[in-house]
Structure 1
Amino acid sequence: MTDAKALDLASQLCSRLCHDLLSPVGALSNGLELLADEKDPDMRARCFELLEQSAKASADKLKFFRLAFGAAGGFGALVPVEEAQAAIEALAGDAKRIRVNWALADDRLPKDAVKVMLNFAHMAIDALVRGGTLDIGAETRDGATEIVVRAAGTRIAFDEKIGTALEGDLPEEELSGRTAPAHMLALLAERAGGGLQHHRTDETLVLGAVLPQPEGPVA
């Protein structure tokens, strides 16, 4: 990847992060303005409740994106799966009406595998516009980590450009904040010598990945 392409990808990932944080952070600002003018004790209590909810949502998203986009754990590190589970559970809780089921065979996964799992989960949560079930599985065997994320619900919403990005075939001019995470995953899979798959119907979205483990000791 050229420096210009890398810079464009980083910019679009930042745009996605800012887009997702705009709502809870904006709610914090609005709540503080209301609190400054509100004198009624009951209404002030309600303002504090809304502020607490918005602060939690902002913190949850920051923790999620730290793992999904950032360098949490250092390069080549194994990441405890409970960190990824907590981040995904919080994101699904914010989205509401989504039940998460887990099938994880390992207590630690390579950082790139965790990035794939979190970003798959984010795509699946976005697809469950009317709620539903999110099934997440991961295991390491035969020198590779396999990840499957399945969303099941009414009227699955999935932008086919995201699927094109996962396949590594997205034109440069179509890179956006919405497609950048999928493009990043395609690059991660290519670097690892692995692959990504996706399949969508009206009521299901299945995202899968096989990522060979890096050679040598992992910190």
Structure 2
Amino acid sequence: MGQDSNFATLIGSRICHDLISPIGAINNGIELLEMSKPSSGPEMALISESVNNASARIRFFRIAFGAAAGQIVGRPEVTSILKDVYAGGRLTVAWGPLDGQPRRMVRLAFLALMCLETGMPFGGRIEIAQDGEDLELTGHGDKLNIDASLWEMLTTGAPTSEGLRPAHVQFGLLPVIAHDEARNLRVTLTDTRITMRF
């Protein structure tokens, strides 16, 4: 995909960059309202929770779909994003690498996480570990939901956007980005576990 994927990631970066500021401003406004007129009502709680969730998702998407140059993303930033994105959900995510990771590797990990989310709609645990220069994601769940046509896209080497729903764009993008980064994407599926390595 080459140049097309570069344009796509630049578009992702621009959208996330433009959205994060107004969402941050809304969050600041909520804090000011609570300071001037403290309220523990359900309305304020719902607005605050929604803004926090939107902010977390945009930070996640900015890495997953944005441009990745040579920056290093520190462990605190990655774990903060994952904590906010998966707080209160059915999935728990454990980020194992202790050192900062190249943004391009974190981007691959976040796209892979989105694939795992799709295969684990009933919840479970996802662990991300570093093995040499590779990252390995392992999803454990009592019940998985595997759409073979989606998961085959990751390993056939011939991803296509034709017939792909927006909710599944990660399955088309992950192999393209992995190829662009010269990473060998491997997937292993069992009844209760999904392993992805690159």
Shorter-normalised TM-score: what interval? 0.7 to 0.9
Aligned CA RMSD, in angstroms, stands at 3.2
The answer to whether the 8 Å contact 2:73/2:103 transfers is: yes
> Aligned to 2:87, what secondary structure does the other structure show?
helix
Counterpart of 1:59?
55
Q: Deviations over 1:68-114 (max 9, x none)?
A: 1113xx622222132222222222225x233333321x421111101
> Which runs of 4 or more aligned residues in structure 1 lie more than 4 Å from their structure 2 counterparts after TM superposition?
none
User: Aligned letter for 2:102?
Assistant: P
CA distance in 1, matches of 2:105, 2:8: 19
CA distance in 1, matches of 2:120, 2:171: 17
Give 1:66 deviation, angstroms. 0.8
Give 1:177 deviation, angstroms. 2.0
CA distance in 2, matches of 1:181, 1:117: 11
Give 1:201 deviation, angstroms. 2.2
* Larger Cα-atom Rg: 1
The answer to whether the 8 Å contact 2:69/2:104 transfers is: no
The percent of aligned pairs where both chains have the same amino acid is 20
**Structure 2 residue ranges without an equivalent (≥5):** 17-22, 27-38
CA distance in 2, matches of 1:88, 1:122: 12
From 71, 77, 100, give the equivalent of 1:77: 71
Q: Deviations over 1:29-75 (max 9, x none)?
A: xxxxxxxxxxxxx9x8111111111111111101110111113xx62
The answer to whether the 8 Å contact 1:88/1:118 transfers is: no
Counterpart of 1:191?
180
User: Aligned letter for 2:99?
Assistant: D
TM-score norm. by structure 2 comes to 0.73
1:23-172 matches, within 5 Å, as: 45-71=41-67, 75-94=69-88, 96-104=89-97, 106-139=98-131, 141=132, 145-167=133-155, 168-172=157-161
Change (3 A) 1:58 1:172: closer
